[in-house]
Structure 1
Amino acid sequence: MTSSLVRGRPRHATAHIRVRVAHALVGAVAGAGWLAIPVLAAQEPATASAPRTAPAAPAAPRDDESSAVDLILPVAVLGTAGVVAAYSYVRRGRRASGVVSAAPAAATPAESDRRARAALVEADDSVRASEEELPFAAALVDEQTLAPFRRAVHTARTELSAAFALWHRYEEGEGGDRGQALAGVVGRCAEAGRVLDARAGELDRLRRSEAGPALEVAEGAFRRLTARAAGARATVTELRERYGPSVGARVAGCVEEAMDRLVFTTARLNEARRAVDLGDETQAVRQLRAAEGSVAQAGILVAGVDRTTRRLREAAALVPAALTGAEAVLAKARATGTPVPSGADDTLAAVREELTAGPYDPLDALRRITRALVRLPEARSGVLDTAAHLVARAAVGEAEDYVAVHRGAVGADPRSLLAAAVRTLAAPHPVEATVLARRALELADRDVRAHGVPDSDAQGTTGAVLGGVLLGEEPDGGPPVAFGGPETRRRFRTG
């Protein structure tokens, strides 16, 4: 059994031992050489005084003995030279490489930063994709069977939230050792992935046995969503007329992307149906998973249009009361000598003018009202608090939807700000959450533009890659993402 002391010995200590052993060998060989010299000296005269007329037969043993003795010095010299040369070679190699210890060099701060960012993005993608697959599995198995997978996703989401919180804290420069913080981020993300990886194979086994029924579930979801998307197109015109071009442009963009995902879904469902008919289970599962991921994203986009419509109506009904409440808060502040925020009166006047000037964005109006008065304690209650929460939920929801359907291009910073917005809204600090969510949306849009917004192709493949439905690693768009962590989410690669 290996001693614990030996197992725990540092590598550089082992290196020092090797050097000492080399020194000992050199000394031993050199000593052997020196000891051989007297023997050789004693043998030299006897060999020189041997009679030249002696018979050949008796002289043979003497010659053999002399030859053996004569080899001692050359062997000693050659051995010493070999050891010295080897030792010198090792020393030169160690000096040339600059490595004294066998331990790997520590990562630079930039490398640690990149590693943490990549871990956050991959873990967030894994959790999102795993969440998207569960509703399709739920249509085929009972809740008790699905419970372990729901728990895995919940655990992974918890670990990811902790990783984002740690990342955001140190991005804001809040004390502590940055190296330890980044290691903690990577560790949390790795644990989130491990939990999902552990359940991926089991979910595959459940779903592969139901390939035909699973395809029917996906086709049913596709048909229902297609009808809803057609209704959302009509909603765009209504919202543009009622709330102005900026609102209309936002929802129109969602509908266009939803239709693009549905085009992609159509092609993949057709391929899956063909594979099922041919008995090609592997191809059927691959195409089905791609179709399910696309249906999920189209559903997010269409649901976002419906949710925005409801919140715009709520906001429009709330704006007059919020204006009145804000004016009352300002009057009370002046009466009590409390400093009034600069520009608050101008903001309220501009909103009142918009109410009578024509179509306007009521969510944006409420956002400006609540932010103008955020420093006044009285503004955090009553109608203004209700308005602030409505605006924050709308902002967080919009950013969440955007990241979800563009995750193939969105980096770590927007995701971190979005996670911070969710935490801040739960605190609850709605005005601050709105600021974080809007910044997250801005950075996510910047990432998408830097990545390049693809032109719609005949089958919607480029949009699916941008959305992270396909991983973009093969000519046809790559494998579809699946339930699991970093080790298993790419398991549907061809070959």
Structure 2
Amino acid sequence: MRRRPTRGFGALPAGVLVVAWWLSGPAAADGYARQQDDVGTSGADLVLPLALLAAVVAVAAYTFLTRRRRAATRTTPHGGVPVPELAELDGRARAALVAADDAVRTGREDLAAATALAGAGAAQPFAQAVRHAEGELAAAFRLRQELDDARPEDEPARREMLEEVVARSVDAQRRLEEASDVLDALRSAPGSAKEALDAADERCRELAGRLGTAEAALAALRGRYAPSAAAPVATAPDQAGARLRTARERLAQARAAAGQEAAGELWAAEAALAQVALLVDAVDRRAVELAEAAGRLPGALAEAEANLAEAAKVLEDLSGGLPGATAEGVTKADLRGRAARAEAVTGDVRRSVEEGRYDPVEALRRVAEADASLGAALAAVRGRGEEARRARAFLEHALLSARSAVGAADVYVAVHRPLVRAPARTRLAEALRRLDEASGGAEDALPSVQEADGLARSAQALAEQDVRLHGTSAAG
């Protein structure tokens, strides 16, 4: 919003200006004439006009200063509607993002329950609302990320972006609320309650069996790998068990109730079951990721060690030349530094593998990052085909690590969402966006994938901090 121009004496009340004109115009001249005609009149006759003139000046000064102060603090914009301070607007934007993200996540759960209850066709209107809300929320998170990055914006631009974040977040919630009638109709459809209860009971039994398998898988992961390997899902079975108990309680209450009350209990049970499935899936996915990373790690180590040998040869060939760039502006000192780091990382990872207690995903991430950095310095001396092959290998390693980090952070935010604030959600949304853009497999996608990995890990750390600061997440 543009700042209103500050006005001076031109903005004074009309009555004040009239008084000022009268004192300085014909009335004052007439008084002066009478004073000349009557030489005996005392100078005290001028006291009243002078006092009025001083009052006019005081009122003018007060009005001018007040208008300047209000313009500076932006408390009286056009139309008299207060404009919030930038910090207040920023807080509104963060709160609106959290509310919209919660609404979209709940909407996805409701959509899954509605589809299971009545089929995809009947739930299609609500599915369209969820997709619209997802689009608005994604755009709002993108703007929030731009505001949070290192690029400064001036106050008008920042204010405009914050207002758009609020507007898009509110629109996402509004669209879901408008489509809630579809859910209400599905909940209250004749004969749907009994079918849905039977389906939910069956789903409870299925998830109970999967939960037992997940607990066994987690125990195996803890016995085989370092504690950090299982850390992202360390509490998932316990949380899934709590939500499964909640679902069973809600289903029992739904069978004892009737009408809308029964529908509400059934919907709450479906939401709890959705989170049980999310947590069990997370354990299964983590086990697969660790196994895949462990399988890739020997090849990544061999690749890194081959790069180290090549770097040593390049440095030896350049030892007789002048210090400076090797090719593409890479200096010998830079190449030597990258080689030293890659050598330290590969040595450390090999030792941890030999000891048998390591985190395959983290080990692969470390080796891939160090080797990619060294490979970039060596790219100028390689053939085109060889460089393309190695770039694809780097990208595959990075994608595995990034998907693991994004998946873990997404599950954590979903399960603890009553306590997770806007910064963690914003980083997670940006990580998802960058990972989605890079999933096409383009050779130049490696930086985006690595950024997605870092953003997801940052989101996880911020979300965990929110949970520690604001209490434990309630079950269900």
Give the TM interval when normalised to the shorter protein.
Answer: 0.7 to 0.9
Distance 1:269 1:388 in 2: 43
Give the deviation of 1:102 after TM superposition.
Answer: 5.6
1:129 maps to: 106
Residues 374 and 109 of structure 1: CA distance in aligned 2, closer, same or farther (over 3 Å): farther
Q: Is the 8 A contact 2:229 2:360 kept in 1?
A: no
Give the structure-2-normalised TM-score.
Answer: 0.72
Query: Residue 255 in 1 paired to residue 233 in 2?
Result: no
Name the amino acid aligned to 1:103: G
Distance 1:103 1:212 in 2: 57
Structure 1 stretches of at least 4 aligned residues deviating more than 6 Å after TM superposition: 19-24, 98-101
2:464 matched to which residue of 1?
Answer: 445
Q: Which digits, 9 at most, give the CA deviation of each residue in 1:153-200, with x for residues without a partner?
A: 111111111111111011114354110110111111122112212211
Partner of 2:247: 265
1:73-472 correspondence runs (5 A): 103-176=80-153, 177-209=157-189, 210-275=192-257, 279=258, 281-336=259-314, 337=326, 338=330, 339-340=335-336, 341=338, 343-375=341-373, 376-377=375-376, 381-428=391-438, 429-453=448-472, 462-464=474-476
Gaps of 5+ in 1: 1-9, 11-15, 25-87, 455-461, 465-495
Structure 1 pair 373/282, CA: closer, same or farther in 2 (3 Å)? same
CA contact (8 A) 2:304 2:342 kept: no
* CA distance, structure 1, for counterparts of residue 110 and residue 15 of structure 2: 61
Residues 233 and 252, structure 1, Cα contact 8 Å, conserved in 2: no
After superposition, give the CA deviation of every residue in 1:340-390 in whole Å (9 maximum; x if it has no partner).
Answer: 525221011001111111121100101111222343436961333211111
Is the contact made by 2:125 and 2:182 (CA closer than 8 Å) also made in structure 1? no
| 1:334/1:194 CA distance change after superposition, 3 Å | farther
Moved more, 128-137 or 321-330: 321-330
The residue type equivalent to 1:223 in the other structure is R
Residues 173 and 382 of structure 1: CA distance in aligned 2, closer, same or farther (over 3 Å): closer
Quick one: distance in 1 between partners of 2:147 and 2:240?
Answer: 37
CA offset at residue 148 of structure 1? 2.2
| Paired AA for residue 343 in structure 1 | R
Q: Deviations over 1:404-450 (max 9, x none)?
A: 11001000000000111112223422222111111100000000111
CA contact (8 A) 1:262 1:295 kept: yes
Secondary structure at the counterpart of residue 205 of structure 1:
helix
CA distance in 2, matches of 1:346, 1:149: 54
Which secondary structure does the structure 2 equivalent of 1:463 belong to? coil
In the alignment, structure 2 segments of 5+ residues that lack a partner are 5-9, 19-58, 315-325, 380-386, 439-447
Q: Following superposition of structure 1 onto structure 2, how do residues 35-54 of structure 1 map, counting pairs within 5 Å?
A: none
Counting matched residue pairs gives: 374
Q: Percent identity?
A: 38
Say whether the 8 Å CA contact 1:244–1:360 is kept in structure 2: yes
Q: Bigger radius of gyration, 1 or 2?
A: 1
Q: Is the 8 A contact 2:250 2:265 kept in 1?
A: yes
More displaced stretch, 119-128 vs 333-342: 333-342
Q: CA RMSD in A?
A: 3.0
Tell me if structure 1 keeps the 8 A contact 2:236–2:280.
yes
Give the stretch that moved more between structures: 123-132 or 369-378.
369-378
Question: Which residue identity does 2:427 align to in structure 1?
Answer: L
**TM-score (norm. length: structure 1):** 0.70
Task: Please say which of residues 301-310 and 376-385 is displaced more in the overlay.
Answer: 376-385
Change (3 A) 1:444 1:363: same
Contact 1:421 1:436 in 2 (8 A): yes
| 8 Å CA contact 1:167, 1:182 repeated in 2 | yes
